[in-house]
A and B are shown apart, each in its own frame.
Chain A
Amino acid sequence: MLKSGGRALLLIGCPEVPVQTSLALYLCSRLRMNGWEVVVAGTGAALKLLEVADPEGHYLSETMDLDDCIAKAVEGEIAFDICFAFMHSDAGVTYGATISSISSARIYALIYGREAEKLAEMVEYDCEKIVAKAVHNPAPLKIRLDKVMGWAA
């Protein structure tokens, strides 16, 4: 089970697969409930989807541009204890590898989409893989996430 508190990063990419926005807000909620300070780094469109869905900031707090986040992490301006890297494409795997290489955070790779299993085989860096063939329905990925994090009822 995940310890409480600390600083968590959610690394989100292209929002073309619907489950990403849903799972990101769910993670923000769960982590904040457990005392984590959550930063979401993503593409402009991915962040807009979250901001529009949570106008009062009940779940979302700090956000930043994906590439700015990478730059600040390399420069040592920001650091995290844990990172959830969302990936449904080769580009997502590439960004996950980058954060894994430049950060000492424990990495959780959330792998989803139609090619989830094939994609998971490409993730060779040290991380906890959470894999589900989820595209429109976030439930399969949420179930696996809850199990790994110790949030299952």
Chain B
Amino acid sequence: MGCIEALKPEVVLSRISFKEAREYIESHAPEVHHVNPGFKLFGEYLIGVPPIAIGIEDDNILFPFTKPCYGTFVLRLKDIAEVERLRLAVSEEMKKAIKGRGKRR
């Protein structure tokens, strides 16, 4: 996840548990989406315990970031294009899930 660090995000919380990061994002972001581990954000695959909460506040993305030796961080990064890509990707995933459920019936 070196690329995300290179983008110099704002560190909102540091060295917390993954659960604490999820709870913070869910309670502080006005718009929250849930994704699975391996979801691509800022060009990197997300590490996490599913469901991973990602928040959107204005043009910022609030997301968890885990480093093996340091625990989990909550980062905030402004990127309008990534906000739109996130919304689109989540809605596509939802459509696939609904389609999948329909087929099983």
Contacts and interface: CB of A to CB of B under 8 A. Distances in A.
Interface of A: 13-14, 16, 43, 45-46, 66-67, 70-71, 73-74, 89-95, 97-98, 101-102, 122, 124-125
26 contacts: A13-B68, A14-B69, A46-B68, A67-B2, A70-B38, A74-B45, A89-B71, A90-B17, A90-B71, A90-B72, A91-B67, A91-B70, A93-B49, A94-B47, A94-B72, A95-B68, A97-B37, A98-B38, A98-B49, A101-B36, A101-B37, A101-B38, A101-B50, A102-B36, A102-B38, A125-B49
Q: Is the interface of A mostly helix, strand, loop or mixed?
A: helix
A24 to B, nearest CB: 14
Interface of B: 1-2, 17-19, 36-38, 44-45, 47-50, 66-72
A98 B48 contact: yes
A66 B47 CA distance: 11
Nearest to A46: B68
B72 A97 contact: no
A136 B36 CA distance: 35
Nearest to A99: B37
Contact of A97 (B48, B67, B69, B71): B48
B67 to A, nearest CB: 7
Contacts of B44: 67, 71
Contact of A43 (B17, B18, B69, B71): B69
- What are the 4 closest A-B residue pairs judged by CB atoms, nearest first? A14-B69, A98-B37, A97-B49, A74-B38
Contacts of A70: 38, 45, 47
A94 B66 contact: yes
Contacts of B69: 13-14, 16, 43, 45, 91
Best-buried of A16, A66, A91 by chain B (most CB within 10 Å): A91
